[in-house]
């Protein structure tokens, strides 16, 4: 099986049908669909069962299974789906989003000409009910990222991932299932780290020699259903420092000695991206206090201390008070 599509379902009854229709209508059958139903309180669970029964009856090679769990969040659902997967490549899809027609066939064709342990592609975002989705452009040509040594890896963190150069959204990547399983990679809850997507991608990159980034727009982020909670600026830096500590621990586990040595540079780059704009509600004094707290209480305090000046400057560029 080439692809394992892992769809997260939680209270997205209205948009879930569109998501599953976009998968069912693909003209490529070498995939399995795993829907992780995360204890929805609307009609999402019934939609999952309906599509599983329908798609499994039509005689296609592609098969569907539904995993039911008590509500435990996106990260736990993705981990459950990855553990159940049998395909070579994992594609994590949100139930509020959808994939474009022919996406799977396009990926197979592109991948046949480009070796790698990670594949990326571009995405669109819905704007309004009567408007065409907007393309979010990161590149005009296919790009290959080669990581020959730890210097390349550190550069990938400071200049690409934490700089949001290629995006960091997990649904716009294909992850190799063997790499995920063999190295015990798991999504961490966004209540513990700033972003489960950034954390997972950054840890995964330690096992990548080559990544290929396609120009194709294959994924559409839909409008989330219901009111979305606002981000509390006071949780951002603690979440980022937890993310960095997890990344450092992964570097230790993976034997990345240079990354450990130069981790202050990685810490200093973590706000060189749109995250810093979310800190605009905090004062410079409040940010300095959060950094000082992390220096005292985290296992990477000395590295954060080295990066303190860069972090404050980056936060100020985001418009802190």
DSSP letter (8 states) at residue 148: -
- Give me the mean pLDDT over the 115-131 stretch: 92
According to DSSP, the residues that pair with 120 across neighbouring strands are: 173, 213
Q: What is the pLDDT of residues 18-46, one digit of tens each?
A: 999 999 999 999 999 999 999 999 999 99
Classify each residue of 73-91 as buried b or exposed e, where b means 16 or more C-beta atoms within 10 Å of its C-beta.
bbbbbbbbbbeebebebbb
Q: Which domains does the chain have, with CATH numbers?
A: 3-221 (3.90.550.10), 233-317 (no CATH)
- Neighbour-count burial for 113-132, b at 16+ CB within 10 Å, e otherwise: eeebbbbbbbbbebeeeeee
Question: Cβ–Cβ contacts within 10 Å for residue 103, how many?
Answer: 24
Q: Are 187 and 240 in contact (CB under 8 A)?
A: no
Mean pLDDT for the chain overall: 93
234-244 tens-digit pLDDT: 889 999 999 99
Position 258 scores a pLDDT of 96
Q: Per-residue confidence at 189, pLDDT binned at 50, 70, 90?
A: very high
Instruction: Identify the helix (H) or strand (E) that includes residue 177.
Output: helix 177-182
pLDDT of 321 over the 70 cut: no
Q: What proportion of the chain, given as a percentage, has pLDDT over 90?
A: 82
pLDDT of 230 reads 62
Residue 13: in which H helix or E strand, if any? helix 13-24
CA end-to-end span of the chain, whole Å? 53
pLDDT of 254: 97
Choose among 59, 82, 62: nearest CA to 7.
Answer: 82
How far is 16 from 10, CA to CA, in rounded Å? Answer: 9
Distance CA 304, CA 302 (A): 5
**pLDDT value for 234:** 86
pLDDT, position 275: 87
Report pLDDT for 229: 60
Reported as type and span, the H/E element at residue 213 is strand 210-221
User: Which one-letter DSSP state was computed for residue 249?
Assistant: H
Q: Sorting pLDDT into bands at 50, 70 and 90, what band is 228?
A: low
Structure confidence by residue, pLDDT tens digits, 264-304: 999 999 998 888 888 887 888 899 999 999 999 999 999 99
According to the model, what pLDDT value does residue 191 have? 86
210-221 and 143-146: which strand pairing? antiparallel
Measured in degrees and rounded to the nearest 5, phi and psi for residue 170 equal -60, -35
């Amino acid at each position: 099986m080439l692809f394992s599509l892992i769809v997260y379902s939680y209270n997205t009854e209205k948009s879930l049908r569109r998501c599953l229709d976009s998968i069912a209508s693909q003209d490529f059958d070498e995939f399995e669909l795993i829907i992780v139903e995360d204890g929805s309180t609307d009609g999402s669970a019934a939609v999952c069962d309906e599509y599983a029964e329908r798609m499994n009856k039509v005689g296609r090679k592609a098969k569907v299974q539904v995993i039911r769990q008590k509500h435990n969040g996106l990260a736990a659902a993705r981990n459950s789906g990855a553990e159940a997967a049998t395909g070579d490549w994992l594609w994590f899809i949100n139930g509020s989003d959808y994939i474009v027609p022919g996406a799977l066939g396009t990926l197979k064709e592109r991948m046949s000409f480009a070796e790698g342990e990670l594949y990326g592609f571009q995405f669109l975002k819905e704007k309004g009910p009567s408007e065409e989705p907007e393309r979010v452009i990161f590149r005009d040509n296919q790009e290959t990222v080669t990581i020959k040594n730890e210097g390349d890896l550190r550069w990938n963190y400071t200049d690409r991932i934490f700089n949001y150069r290629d995006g960091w959204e997990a649904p716009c990547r294909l992850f190799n299932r063997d790499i995920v399983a063999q190295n015990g990679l798991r999504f961490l809850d966004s209540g513990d780290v700033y972003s489960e997507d950034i954390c997972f991608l950054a840890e995964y990159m330690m096992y990548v020699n080559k990544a290929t980034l396609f120009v194709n727009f294959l994924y559409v982020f839909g409008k989330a259903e219901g009111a979305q909670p606002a981000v509390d600026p006071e949780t951002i830096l603690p979440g980022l420092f937890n993310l960095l500590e997890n990344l450092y621990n992964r570097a230790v586990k993976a034997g990345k000695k240079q990354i450990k040595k130069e981790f202050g540079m990685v810490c200093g780059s973590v706000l060189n991206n749109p995250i810093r704009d979310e800190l605009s509600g905090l004062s410079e004094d409040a940010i300095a206090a959060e950094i000082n707290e992390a220096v005292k209480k985290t296992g990477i305090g000395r590295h954060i201390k080295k990066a303190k000046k860069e972090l404050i400057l980056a936060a100020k560029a985001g418009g802190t008070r």
